[in-house]
A and B are shown apart, each in its own frame.
Chain A
Amino acid sequence: MAQQSLDIERRSATTTPSPNMRGHVAEVAKLIDISKCIGCKACQSACMEWNDYRGNVGTCDGTYNNPFDLAANQWTVMRFTEYEPPGGNLEWLIRKDGCMHCAEPGCLKACPAPGAIVQYSNGIVDFHEEHCIGCGYCITGCPFNIPRLSDADSKVYKCTLCSDRVAVGLEPACIKSCPTGALVFGSKDDMRQHAAGRIEDLKSRGYKNAGLYDPQGVGGTHVMYVLPHADRPQIYAGLPKDPHISPLVSLWKGALKPLMSLGLGVIAFAGVIHYVGVGPNETKDDKSKVDKSSEHRDQ
C-alpha cells in the first residue's frame, strides 16, 4: 500500500527515476533471535489482527506447524524442527518464516506489472496488490519461497513489514507482540550491533558457530536472523545457505527483455483481435471464491 511519508526507491517494471527528496531515512531491519524464540505464535496472531486477515481453521498434520505453510492469508508462520546435532543434545529449532525484505529483491526484479512491487527507501519491499496481474513471476523470483497467490482474487500477498506502521514511527505488529524479545526492530545498523551482543552470549554458552544471517547473495536482507548454528542455516527448516535470485529472472530482465516486449505486443494485438471477434470477457462473480477462502469453520 502506498505510504505518502515513505519514498519509493524502486518500482517494478518502471524506468522513470525514483523520488529522493527525503534523504534522511535510515534502513530498517527486523532481527529474529532464534535463541530467544519460544514459538508461541503471538506474532502470527498479531499479524492477522493488524493486517485484517484470518487464516483457515485447518487440521493438525502431526507437527506443531499451524497453519502448515505461508498462504495469501498467512504472512508469517513458525516452522518447528527437531534436530539432533551429531554427538550433541536434542534441540527444538523454531524459525519464524516470512518475507526477508531483500536489499536486491528478486520478486521486484521479476515483476512485469508496473508498480505492483515497490521498495521503499527504508528497505521495506511491499506489494501493491491493486497493480498485481497475478502472473506469479515474483514467486519464481523469490529465493526464499515467500509470496503466495490468492485463489480468491488472483493477487499475490506477503509480509509488508507493516510498512503502514513503520511509516508513522511504529514497530511492526509482530515485534510489538513478541513476549520474549526474540523479535526486535530498528535501524539495520542498530540491529547488527544488537545481534553482535547476542552472538557473543551464544558463543559463551557453547554455540561456537553462532552468527548473523544477512545473506549477501541478495544484497543483504531487512529481516535478519541470529542463528545458534549459523554455519548450517539449512537445519532451520530449509533456510537457504547462500540464496541468489534465480538466473531465469536475470535472463528475463536482461537478454530476453526485447523479446518479451515483442511477445507482450503480440499478446496485446491478439487481445484486440479477440475483443473485436468474440467480445469482452465476462467477469465472473468472485464473491463465492472470497467466501470460500474466508470459510473459517470447518465442522
Chain B
Amino acid sequence: MASLAPTFGRGAMTNHWVDIKNANLVIIMGGNAAEAHPCGFKWVTEAKAHNKAKLVVIDPRFTRSAAVADYYAPLRTGTDIAFLGGVINYLLTHDKIQHEYVKAYTDAGFIVRSDYLFKDGLFSGYQPKTRSYDKSSWMYEIGADGYAKVDPTLTHPRCVFNLMKQHYARYTPEVVENICGTPKDTFLRVCGLIAETSTSDRTATFMYALGWTQHTVGTQMIRTAAMVQLLLGNIGMPGGGVNALRGHSNIQGLTDLGLLSNLLPGYMTLPGESEVDFKKYIAARAFKPLRPHQLSFWQNYGKFHVSLMKAWYGAAATKENNFCYDWLPKLDKVHDVLQVFEDMHNGKLNGYLCQGFNPLAAFPNKAKIGGALAKLKYLVVIDPLATETSEFWRNFGEFNDVDSAKIATEVFRLPSGCFAEEDGSLVNSGRWMQWHWKGQDPPGEGKSDTEIVAGIFLRIRELYRKHGGAFSDPVRNLTWDYAIPYRPHPEEIAKEYNGSALADLTDPKNKTKVIKKRGEQLDGFLQLRDDGTTACGCWIFAGCWTEKGNMMARRDTADPSGLGETLGWAFAWPANRRILYNRASCNPSGRPWDPIKRNLIHWNGRAWVGFDVPDFKPDSPPAEGMGPFIMLPEGVARFFTLGNVVDGPFPEHYEPFETPIDTNPLHRQVVSNPAARVFRDDLEAFGKSTDYPYAATTYRLTEHFHFWTKHALINAVLQPEQFVEVGEVLAKEKGIKSGDRVMVRSNRGHIKAVAVVTKRIMPLKVDGKIVHTVGVPIHWGFKGVAKNGYIANTLTPFVGDANVQTPEFKSFIVDIEKA
C-alpha cells in the first residue's frame, strides 16, 4: 500500500484475481500464492492452460507454487531488491523496455534537483541521529510556471531515466549472484522471460504478498517490482500489474477504511501535531497538478474530508467549526502496533482492546509481547476463538512458561461471531466489495462485532453524559442514528459509507436542475461537496449502495469482452473500475496497445468507452495530454517517488537487520535500512551470525489459516504437528534426520519442532560463504485441537518496515540442533 500509492496513486492491487488469466507471464515472488491463496491461484492455472502463460517462481524455498511452475529461481531471503534491481539493469542495458509507454506515462523525463545524491549507501539528506532523511532534495526542478521541468528526449543527465540507469548500473548479474545467491545463468534466464513482455502485445503480472511486506525494506521491494512493470509497459494492461495478494480476508477493507493508526477512511491521513489549521491541512493534501492538463484527483480532498466529518458528526459539524477539525487527534508520531507494544512494554498503557487480533502469536518476539500484556491493568479480547493472547497469563508448560501468580492483568473475553455469522461485505484483494449473507447465528453467548462495539460505545457515551469528562465532545456528538442503537445493521453502515445528500444537490453546470434530493443515496464520489451538503463515510466506497440498491450484492457473471471484466458482479472501488489506470492500456492517441487480445477501453472520438469503467476523465480527449495516473499530480507514474517514501526515492538493497553475512556487499558501512525505526532494547535483542549462522524465514501452510484453524478438527488432521524445514546439506552437517525433534534458537528465544529435511531449501553461496535457510511455519500454539506447539514468533525480531512498520517476520537468523 505504501509503495503502490506513491508509485501509481492508489495503494491496492492494480488488477484483480480473474484478470491474472490474461497474463503471458506470471511471476510469483514475495509470496506463495498456491500455498496461501489456493483459490485465487486458479487464475494462474487458467493463464497457463488457456493463454499458454509461463509461471516463474522466485523464492528462498521451492514452494507449492514452484511445484507447478515452469521455472524456479532460488534467492536468499531479504534480497529481492538486489534481484529486481538487477532485472531493471538488464532491461535497460538490453534495451528491453516499452519506449513509448515509458516516455508518455512515467516520470522518466522529469528533471531532478541538482542536490539530490546517492552515495555510499545513503541518499542525500541523511540525519543519523534521528535515523531519518531530510527529503527536500528528492524533488523535481520546478520551472517558473510552477510545473516540473521535463526533458522528453531523456537525454538530460539528471532526468529520472538517467538517474535510474546510473543507480541500477551497480546491480550486475554478478552482483545479484553474490548478494542473492541466485546462480547467474538462472538469474539471466528469468530476466530473459521477463524481457519478452516488453512488447505491447505481451504482459507479465507480479503476484506478491507478505513475502515482500514483512521486511524492513518491504515497501521498497514492492516499488522495485513496480518499476520493472513500468519499464515493460505492464501497468493498466489486462494481464499486467503489480498484484498485492492480501493476507487476510477483508484486510483490503481494513486499509480502505483507514483502520491504521495514521489513516482516515479512503486513504485520507490524520493531521500531524503541527497541523492545527484546517485550511492548511486540506491544502497540504489537495495536490495541485505538477504538469499542465493533469487531473490530480486529490485536489478534491476537501470534499472527501468534509463529507466524512458530516457522516461522523452530522449537524454538529459546521462550516464555522471547520467541520469539527479540532476534534481529530493530531499525531506526534505513528502509533502502529509495534509502537503500541513498545509503549505497553514500558508501562505506558493501562488497557488494551484487542479485537480480531492475536498479538501474542501474530506479532514478533513473543517474550516481549507477553511481557507487555502482563503490564496492563486490563485486556479486552473480542474474538470468536479462545486465543493465545486471551490466555497469555496461563502456564502451558514449555509452550508458555509464565508465572501466573505474578500477572495482575484482568482479562475480559467477549465472544464474537465469525464472518459467516453476520451479513456484510468483504473487500477482496482486487478491490471487489462482495456482499454476503449470514449463514447462522453465533453459538452460545457470541454476538457480532458490531453489536459488541456498539454496546461498549453506548455505555461509554452514557458515562460521559452522566458524569461529564475531559474532551467528551467527539464521543457525545458521534452520529448514531441506527434503528436499533445497540445493534446497528450492516446495511445501515454500508449506506453510511456510500454517502447521501444532506440537502438538495444541484448540477454545478445548471443550478436549476436538482440531481439529488435531500436524503437520497449518492451515485458516486463525483457528487461529494465540501460545503457540508453531503455525508460519506468512505469516499472510495461511494457507489456501493445507491438509490438502485446494494451494488455489492449483484451477481451477474456476464463478461462480454471475455477478459473477465464482470462489471455486474458486486462492486469494485473506485467507481466500479476493475483494472486501475486502464487509460494506460491504450497508446497516447487512445487506441489499445494490443487491440486484438486486450481491447479494454478506447477513445471513440467523443468519450472513453469500453468493457471496463475508464479510470480517467471520461471526456478528456487524447490531444489534451492528460496522463493515465490521475491520482498523482504529475499524471504519470513515478520511478522516482520524491519524498513520499521515507527510505529513498529509488529502492536500494539493504540487508535484513539480522543478516547471516553481517555486511552489505554493496556498501559495507551501511548494512541495513538506515531509515528504519529501531527501539533500543530491540537493537540489543538482534543476534550476530557468529552465534546464529543460518538465515530463517516464517510462512504459512495451505492446510492452516494463521492461528485460527488449529481450532478446527479437519485442518488439525491435515497438518497436526509443528515442524520446521531444513535443507539436506545442513541436516547432514547437523546430523538431523527427517522426523527428528530439533531446537531452533534465535537471540530472543527458542522453539522445538519436528524436522522436515528437504531438497527444496538449497544452500546458496553468498558473498563468499554458504548460507543455509531454516523454514519456520507459523501455525501452532497452545490453544486448539491440533497438537500443541511453540509460537513461531518467539524467534522473530521486533523491527518493522521503515514506512509502515510491518514486522520483519521473513528474514532473521537462527541456530538449529537436534533437541
Q: Are B760 and A41 in contact (CB under 8 A)?
A: no
User: Which of A36, A66, A90 contacts B72, CB < 8 Å?
Assistant: A90
Q: Is B70's beta carbon under 8 Å from chain A? A: yes
Compute how far the CA of A58 lies from the CA of B760 in the bound complex, rounded to whole angstroms.
24
Q: Which B residues are CB-close (under 8 A) to A182? A: 45
> Is B188 on the interface with A (CB-CB < 8 A)?
no
A298 within 8 A of B: yes
Task: Tell me which residues across on chain A come within 8 A of B48, comparing CB atoms.
Answer: 201
Contact A56 B717 (CB under 8 A): yes
Please give the residue numbers on chain A whose beta carbons come within 8 Å of chain B beta carbons, in ascending order.
Answer: 35-42, 44-45, 48-49, 54-64, 66-67, 82, 84, 89-94, 179-182, 198, 201, 204-205, 296-299
Most buried by A among B46, B722, B760: B760
B62 within 8 A of A: yes
B38 on the interface (CB 8 Å rule)?
A: yes
Chain A residue nearest to B728 in the complex (CB):
A82
Q: Which residues of A contact B713 (CB under 8 A)?
A: 54, 57, 296
Q: Is the CB of B720 within 8 A of A38?
A: no
A62-B739 CB under 8 A given contacts A36-B45, A38-B38: yes
Q: Are A180 and B718 in contact (CB under 8 A)?
A: no
Q: How many A-B residue pairs have CB under 8 A?
A: 130
Contact A59 B754 (CB under 8 A): yes
| Beta-carbon contact of A62 and B740 below 8 Å | yes
Q: Is the CB of B34 within 8 A of A54?
A: no
Chain B residues contacting A37 (CB-CB under 8 Å) are 67-68
| A59 contact set on B, CB distance < 8 A | 720-721, 754, 787
Asked if B688 lies at the interface with its beta carbon under 8 angstroms from chain A, I say no
Which of A63, A67, A90, A92 is B738 in contact with, Cβ under 8 Å?
Answer: A63
16 contacts across the A-B interface (CB closer than 8 A): A38-B41, A38-B68, A38-B702, A39-B64, A57-B785, A61-B739, A62-B723, A66-B717, A66-B718, A90-B62, A92-B67, A179-B38, A180-B42, A201-B49, A297-B785, A298-B787
Q: In the assembled complex, which residues on chain B have CB atoms less than 8 Å from the CB atom of A45?
A: 714-715, 718
Q: Is B758 interfacial (CB-CB < 8 Å)?
A: yes
Residues of B within 8 A of A62 (CB): 723, 737-740, 754-757
Query: Residues of A contacting B760 with CB < 8 Å?
Result: 82, 90, 92
Whether A180 contacts B62 by the Cβ 8 Å rule is no
The reply to whether A90 and B787 form a contact with Cβ atoms under 8 Å apart is: no
- Residue contact B62 to A92, C-beta cutoff 8 Å: yes
Q: How far is the CA of A63 from the CA of B726 in the complex (A)?
A: 11
Give A54 to B712 CA distance when docked, in angstroms.
11
List the A side residues contacting B285 at CB < 8 Å: none
Is residue B451 within 8 Å, beta carbon to beta carbon, of the partner chain? no
Q: How far is the CB of B275 from chain A (nearest CB, A)?
A: 47
A179 near B42 with CB under 8 A, answer yes
Q: Determine the chain A residues whose CB is within 8 A of the CB of B723 once the complex forms.
A: 60, 62
A44, B719: Cα distance in complex, Å: 12
Asked whether, in the complex, the Cβ of B67 is within 8 Å of the Cβ of A299, the reply is no
Tell me whether B35 is interfacial, beta carbon within 8 Å. yes
B483 at interface (Cβ–Cβ under 8 A)?
A: no
Distance between B708 CB and nearest chain A CB, rounded to angstroms = 15
Decide if B788 is an interface residue (CB 8 Å cutoff): yes
A60-B722, A64-B756, A92-B760 known, 10 other contacts, Cβ within 8 Å: A36-B68, A38-B41, A38-B67, A57-B713, A59-B787, A60-B721, A60-B723, A62-B738, A180-B68, A181-B49
Closest to A198 in B: B49
- B757 touching A57, Cβ below 8 Å: no
A298 to B713, CA, bound (A): 11
Q: Is the CB of A296 within 8 A of B785?
A: yes
Evaluate contact between A40 and B67: CB separation under 8 angstroms.
Answer: no
For the residues of A in contact with B, the DSSP-based class is loop
Instruction: List CB contacts (< 8 Å) of B749-773 with chain A.
Output: 754-760
B317 at the binding interface (Cβ < 8 Å)? no
Q: How far is the CB of B752 from chain A (nearest CB, A)?
A: 12
**Which chain B residues in 780-804 approach chain A with CB under 8 Å?**
785-788
Chain B contacts for A181, CB-based, 8 A: 42, 45-46, 49
State whether A44 touches B718 (Cβ < 8 A): yes
Complex contact B34–A38 (CB within 8 A): yes
CB of B713, distance to nearest CB on chain A (Å): 5
* Structural contact, B64 and A180, CB atoms closer than 8 A: no
Check B160 for interface membership: any CB of A closer than 8 A.
no
* B349: min CB distance to chain A, Å: 34
In the complex, are the beta carbons of B786 and A57 less than 8 A apart? yes
Nearest opposing residue in chain B for A54, CB measure: B713
In the assembled complex, how far is the CB of residue B601 from the closest CB belonging to chain A, in whole angstroms?
A: 30
Chain B nearest CB: distance from A247 CB in Å?
A: 36
Q: Which residues of B contact A84 (CB under 8 A)?
A: 759
Contacting residues of chain B (491-522) with chain A, CB-CB under 8 angstroms: none
The reply to whether B755 and A54 form a contact with Cβ atoms under 8 Å apart is no
The reply to whether the CB of B52 lies closer than 8 angstroms to some CB of chain A is yes
Closest CB of chain A to B187's CB: distance in Å? 15
B67, B70, B702, B758: residue with the most chain A Cβ atoms closer than 10 Å:
B67
B595 → A minimal CB distance (Å)? 26
Check A299/B788 contact, CB under 8 A, given A38-B41, A63-B738: yes
B102 contacts A by Cβ under 8 Å = no
Whether a CB of chain A sits under 8 angstroms from the CB of B39 is yes
Indicate if B141 sits at the interface (CB-CB under 8 A). Answer: no
Give the chain A neighbours of B719 by CB distance below 8 A.
Answer: 60, 66
Partner of B52, one of A44, A82, A93, A204: A204
Q: State the CA gap A208–B68 with chains docked (Å).
A: 16
Q: B756: which A residues are within 8 A, CB to CB?
A: 60, 62-64
Instruction: Point out which of B35, B72, B757, B758 has the most chain A C-beta atoms below 10 A from its C-beta.
Output: B758
**Across the interface, do B787 and A57 meet the contact criterion of CB distance under 8 Å?**
yes
Q: Kindly provide the distance from the CB of A200 to the nearest chain B CB, expressed in whole angstroms.
A: 11
User: A180 — which chain B residues lie within 8 A by C-beta?
Assistant: 34, 38, 41-42, 45, 68
Q: Is B122 in contact with chain A by the CB < 8 A criterion?
A: no
The distance in angstroms between the C-alpha atoms of A64 and B740, with both chains bound, is 14
By a CB distance below 8 angstroms, the chain A residues around B594 are: none
The 9 A-B pairs of least Cβ separation, nearest first, read: A62-B738, A62-B739, A38-B34, A60-B721, A92-B67, A55-B717, A60-B754, A40-B702, A40-B38
> How far, in whole Å, are A66 and B721 apart by their CA atoms in the complex?
10
Closest to B46 in A: A181
* A77 closest partner in B (C-beta): B718
CB distance from B774 to the nearest CB of A (A): 15
- Kindly list chain A residues whose C-beta atoms are within 8 Å of the C-beta of B308: none
Cα of A42 to Cα of B788 in the assembled complex, Å? 23
B 681-728 contacts with A by CB, 8 A: 702-703, 713-723
B65 within 8 A of partner (CB): yes
Shortest Cβ distance from B723 into A: residue? A60
**Are A205 and B70 in contact, CB atoms less than 8 angstroms apart?**
yes
Contacts of A61 in B (CB 8 A): 738-739, 754
Q: Contacts A90-B760, A201-B49 hold; do A57 and B41 have CB atoms under 8 A apart?
A: no
Question: A67 touches which one: B62, B702, B717 (CB < 8 A)?
Answer: B717
Closest to B41 in A: A180
Note all chain B residues with C-beta closer than 8 A to A55. 717
A36 nearest in chain B by CB position? B45
Chain A residue contacts of B755, Cβ below 8 A: 62
Taking the closest CB of chain A, its distance from the CB of B709, in whole angstroms, is 10
Flag whether B111 is at the interface (Cβ < 8 A): no
Also in contact, A299 and B68, with CB within 8 A (given A38-B35, A40-B38, A62-B737) = no
CB pair B759–A58 under 8 Å, yes or no, is no
A57 touches B717 (CB 8 A): yes
Chain B: minimal CB distance from A298 (Å): 6
Given A62-B737, A297-B785, A38 contacting B62 (CB threshold 8 A): no
Do residues A49 and B714 form an inter-chain contact, with CB atoms below 8 A? yes
| CA distance in complex: A66, B755 (Å) | 15
CB-CB under 8 A from A92, the residues of chain B are: 62, 64, 66-67, 760
A39 to B718, CA, bound (A): 11
Per-position contact with A for B547-560: 1 when CB-CB < 8 Å, else 0?
A: 00000000000000
In the complex, the chain A residue whose C-beta lies closest to that of B37 is A179
Task: State whether B717 touches A91 (Cβ < 8 A).
Answer: no
- Measured between beta carbons, the chain B residues less than 8 angstroms from A36 are 45, 49, 68
CA separation between A217 and B719, bound complex, in Å? 36
A36 to B785, CA, bound (A): 31
